[in-house]
């Protein structure tokens, strides 16, 4: 079990606290178009300010690829954060992040004040976990807090390198919540534990499939990845998305499920069409056939109605459900029915429901089921690596309790 030092376990009064946040918000014409990530960061920031910390915030934004890009400046974030916190968050506008402005601002800070550094990815060393920039960041603070789960699967200066040079390194509330939900689900789930995997390709989720099979009681497969499994079972899958190089892998997984006594559910029926819709939301003619009767010239684009009911039923008896990846081409309303049915079944159950970020999180929110889930992970890639059973460098770098 991960037992990391959190912001509740440290004393920050009068101390300079560097906080790695996830302020990677969408911007349009210099305006923040979705401030969820800022709002989500507030509890940790408020706690540190209330405890008398001198709070130095940092984050990356977009992919400036190691050089200053004015359109990816964090300046608008400082403005909005000031409004949300009801106190000024001074912006240290140094293109080299830890520059003269930042150093002077930190020097002048009083207890309970906050500043924000420039986009950490303005520095090329950031994503290479370089020593010099890590040390520069560390030189600003006495305590480090990491609250950016979305980058926890990467070892960068601002979440991993910096921890080498700071004595006290803790995790923030957001990070703690991710560790608690994902960690508990994977390592200590209340059973039955049902894992649902979808999305485009088997190859993207090889390790997730294998690891979850060991941990869960039932593994449900939908989306594009189901057809490689169906083909491995000997079904005709027509022109559906198939990865021929992973047929043996799918066979292995089916054998593994049997050996471990786990249920591995595959679609029993499939929504098919002549071709992939273009544009993706184009109106198309579909029909539903048995998964063993997909005509050679047709393509599976969603789970069928019987499968949707079967999957919803499996969710009903679960105590823990983890879901990653849509059941079909959900961007098209005609092909979103399977994804909606699964989302609805999760919304209706009393089980602990965890959405593994990315597309699935977007789908659940879009459908208006967001507040019905126990936890929606803020990190697509990071949550997948968690589900693979990997150690996340950004989490591992924090002190143990």
Residues that bind ligand ATP (CB under 6 A): 199-200, 204, 223-224, 241, 300-301, 324-326, 328-329, 331, 357-360, 380, 384
DSSP state of 25: -
Distance CA 17, CA 114 (A): 10
Distance CA 260, CA 179 (A): 27
Please pick, among 338, 357, 358, 394, the residue that the annotation labels catalytic.
Answer: 358
Q: Among 195, 200, 238, 201, which Cα is nearest to 214's?
A: 195
Distance CA 194, CA 212 (A): 9
Instruction: Examine the residue annotation and report whether 201 is marked as an active-site residue of this protein.
Output: yes
Taking the least distance from each CB to ligand ATP, the nearer of 25 and 169 is 25
Taking the complex as a whole, the smallest distance from the CB of residue 324 to ligand ATP amounts, in Å, to 5
Decide: helix, strand or coil at residue 171.
strand
Taking the complex as a whole, the smallest distance from the CB of residue 65 to ligand ATP amounts, in Å, to 22
CA distances to 152, 169, 172 from 19, rounded to whole Å, are 14, 10, 8
Taking the least distance from each CB to ligand ATP, the nearer of 89 and 196 is 196
Please pick, among 130, 183, 381, 389, the residue that the annotation labels catalytic.
Answer: 381
Instruction: Examine the residue annotation and report whether 191 is marked as an active-site residue of this protein.
Output: no
Distance CA 369, CA 207 (A): 28
The residue of the chain with the least Cβ separation from ligand ATP equals: 358
Taking the least distance from each CB to ligand ATP, the nearer of 326 and 394 is 326
- What lies within 8 Å, CB to CB, of 176 at 6+ separation is 4, 6
Taking the complex as a whole, the smallest distance from the CB of residue 121 to ligand ATP amounts, in Å, to 21
Taking the complex as a whole, the smallest distance from the CB of residue 80 to ligand ATP amounts, in Å, to 26
Taking the least distance from each CB to ligand ATP, the nearer of 4 and 153 is 153
Taking the least distance from each CB to ligand ATP, the nearer of 55 and 212 is 212
Instruction: Examine the residue annotation and report whether 381 is marked as an active-site residue of this protein.
Output: yes
How many DSSP H helices and E strands does the chain contain? 13, 17
HSE, side-chain direction, 13 A CA sphere, residue 37? 22
Taking the complex as a whole, the smallest distance from the CB of residue 185 to ligand ATP amounts, in Å, to 16
Taking the complex as a whole, the smallest distance from the CB of residue 285 to ligand ATP amounts, in Å, to 16
- What lies within 8 Å, CB to CB, of 368 at 6+ separation is none
Identify the H or E element spanning 115: strand 114-117
Distance CA 140, CA 121 (A): 17
Phi, psi of 37 (to 5 degrees): -70, -30
Distance CA 152, CA 371 (A): 24
Taking the least distance from each CB to ligand ATP, the nearer of 357 and 393 is 357
Please pick, among 4, 15, 16, 37, the residue that the annotation labels catalytic.
Answer: 37
Instruction: Examine the residue annotation and report whether 46 is marked as an active-site residue of this protein.
Output: no
Please pick, among 69, 103, 201, 274, the residue that the annotation labels catalytic.
Answer: 201
Give the residue numbers marked as catalytic: 37, 201, 358, 381
């Amino acid at each position: 079990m991960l037992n990391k030092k959190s912001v509740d376990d440290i004393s920050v009064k009068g101390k300079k606290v560097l906080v790695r946040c996830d302020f990677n918000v969408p911007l349009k014409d210099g305006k923040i178009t979705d401030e969820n990530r800022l709002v989500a960061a507030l509890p940790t920031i408020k706690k540190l300010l209330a405890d008398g910390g001198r709070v130095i915030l940092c984050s990356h934004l977009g992919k400036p690829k190691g050089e200053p890009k004015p359109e990816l400046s964090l300046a608008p974030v400082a403005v909005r954060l000031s409004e949300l916190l009801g106190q000024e968050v001074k912006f240290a506008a140094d293109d080299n992040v830890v520059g003269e402005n930042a150093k002077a601002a930190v020097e002048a800070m009083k207890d309970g004040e906050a500043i924000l550094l420039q986009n950490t990815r303005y520095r090329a060393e950031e994503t290479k976990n370089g020593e010099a920039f890590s040390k520069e960041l560390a030189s600003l603070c006495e305590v480090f807090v990491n609250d950016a789960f979305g980058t926890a699967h990467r070892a960068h200066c601002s979440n991993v390198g910096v921890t080498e040079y700071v004595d006290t390194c803790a995790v923030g509330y957001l990070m703690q919540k991710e560790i608690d939900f994902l960690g508990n689900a994977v390592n200590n789930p209340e059973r039955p534990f049902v894992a649902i995997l979808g999305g485009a390709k088997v190859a993207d989720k090889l390790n997730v499939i294998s690891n979850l099979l060991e941990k869960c009681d039932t593994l449900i497969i939908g989306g594009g990845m189901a057809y490689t499994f169906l083909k491995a079972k000997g079904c005709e899958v027509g022109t559906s998305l198939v990865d021929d190089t992973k047929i043996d892998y799918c066979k292995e997984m089916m054998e593994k499920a049997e050996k471990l006594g786990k249920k591995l559910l595959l679609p029993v029926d499939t929504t098919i069409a002549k071709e992939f819709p273009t544009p993706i939301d184009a109106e198309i003619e579909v029909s539903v056939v048995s998964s063993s009767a997909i005509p050679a010239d047709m393509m599976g684009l969603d789970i069928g109605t019987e499968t949707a009911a079967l999957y919803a039923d499996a969710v009903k008896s679960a105590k823990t459900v983890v879901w990653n990846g849509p059941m079909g081409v959900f961007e098209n309303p005609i092909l979103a029915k399977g994804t909606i049915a699964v989302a609805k079944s999760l919304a209706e159950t009393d089980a602990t429901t965890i959405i593994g970020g990315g597309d699935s999180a977007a789908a659940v929110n879009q459908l208006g089921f967001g507040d019905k889930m126990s936890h929606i992970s803020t990190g697509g890639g990071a949550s997948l690596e968690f589900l693979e059973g990997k150690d996340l460098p950004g989490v591992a770098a924090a002190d143990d309790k």
